[in-house]
Amino acid sequence: MSVYKKNNYRPGRQTKKERQQEEAANEVSSEQLSHESTTAEVFDTLDEKAGKTEAWVIQHQRTILFTIVAVVVVGLGYMFYKQFVSEPREREISEQLSFAQSVFNQALDANTTATRDSLFTLSLNGDKTHAGFLKIIKDHGSSKAGNVANYAAGMAYLQLNKYKEAVTHLDKFSSSDPILSALALGNIGDAFVALNQPKDAMDYYKKAIDKSDNALTAPIYLSKAAQVAQDQKNYKEALTYLERIKTDYPNSEEAASVDVQISQVEALTNL
């Protein structure tokens, strides 16, 4: 015979507190089952999608691989060309250019006209083992070295008094540097002066002036433009260039004698 406490507890009868605890436990269990069911559904869905994706990848793996390769090739193509094709090629051509440049520099330092002319000619034509500027231009005209060779060839021809050839090569030279560009244009102007083509000479001197207003080249070509204008009896135009030298480039070498030149042109204007 069992003995019970005086709280009159009988089997099968729960207190109010116990019933509340049991109900709470049942609610937690129900929520957990619901959550587990939802989680299972989510994973089932993900598994299903993953399975479909995997099947699609397997089916189209050749296309995917081709696309990846194409993207990589496009992205790396320029780098590859620059590192393994363009730069080595430029180095090789630059090595060829070094001989012609060296001979050209020797010509500038030559003591006699005959030696100078011989060296300028050698820089253009090269010898049996070394390429000259003309060979480099012919074989590699679109390269950086070919561009430099055009400028050097133009200057060599200018020194050899072959002015038409000088114009041809200097006109092919291009540079993002405003001073170099101005020099090339100005040298073409010099060639046209020698060819007795003052209109063309003036056009190129103006181009050289407009290309750069730096204190090195601008006053030089302003002075040359003034001289051409004066020779053509365009005195007002000549004065415009001379006044600009005086105003804009007072510290230049050309400015040292500009007042005298202005006076001379003004005197001619009053005749």
pTM (2 d.p.):
0.67
Distance CA 140, CA 194 (A): 30
Distance CA 122, CA 131 (A): 9
Q: Could you report the per-residue pLDDT of 14-72, keeping only the tens digit for each?
A: 555 555 555 555 554 454 444 444 444 544 544 454 454 444 444 444 443 444 344 44
Contacts 24+ apart (CB under 8 A), 185-193: 185/211, 186/217, 186/220, 186/221, 186/224, 187/154, 187/155, 187/158, 188/154, 189/221, 189/224, 190/158, 190/224, 191/158, 191/163, 191/164, 191/166, 191/167, 192/163, 192/167, 193/224, 193/228
Percent of the chain with pLDDT over 70: 66
Instruction: Locate CATH 1.25.40.10 in the chain.
Output: 175-270
Q: Could you report the per-residue pLDDT of 107-157, keeping only the tens digit for each?
A: 999 999 999 999 999 999 999 999 999 999 999 888 888 898 999 999 999
- Res 162: pLDDT: 98
- Res 22: pLDDT: 56
175-270, what's its fold? 1.25.40
Instruction: Identify the burial level of 136 via C-beta atoms within 10 angstroms of its C-beta, where 0-12 means exposed, 13-18 middle and 19 or more buried.
Output: buried
- Res 145: pLDDT: 84
Distance CA 188, CA 182 (A): 10
Pick the closest to residue 238 from 265, 211, 214 (CA basis).
Answer: 265
* Residue 245 pLDDT greater than 60, yes or no: yes
